[in-house]
Amino acid sequence: TLLKEQLVEVLSTLTPREEKVLKLRFGLEDGRTRTLEEVGREFNVTRERIRQIEAKGLRKLRHPSRSRKLKDFLN
């Protein structure tokens, strides 16, 4: 779908680590959301570090240059 294509495009502007963390946390690949703890185990870092990576990725996605591509789908 067009939304999925735009989402892939926007996520690809993040670092590979940020992209993977967000995909796992929000279940974007398999529909299964994961806890900070679960993602942390996969990356072998603390859940606090995952929270920081997630926050940084989400902050980048909120930037107008990226969010504009997805806002059209909210209406």
Domain limits, the chain: 2-74
pLDDT at 75 over 70: no
With beta carbons less than 8 A apart as the criterion, state whether 17 and 53 touch. yes
**DSSP classification of residue 44:** T
Residue-level pLDDT at 32: 97
Q: Which CATH topology does 2-74 take?
A: Arc Repressor Mutant, subunit A (1.10.10)
| 42: CB partners within 8 A, 6+ apart | 24, 34
pLDDT tens for each residue of 31-43: 999 999 999 999 9
First vs last Cα of the chain: how many Å apart?
16
State pTM to two decimals. 0.89
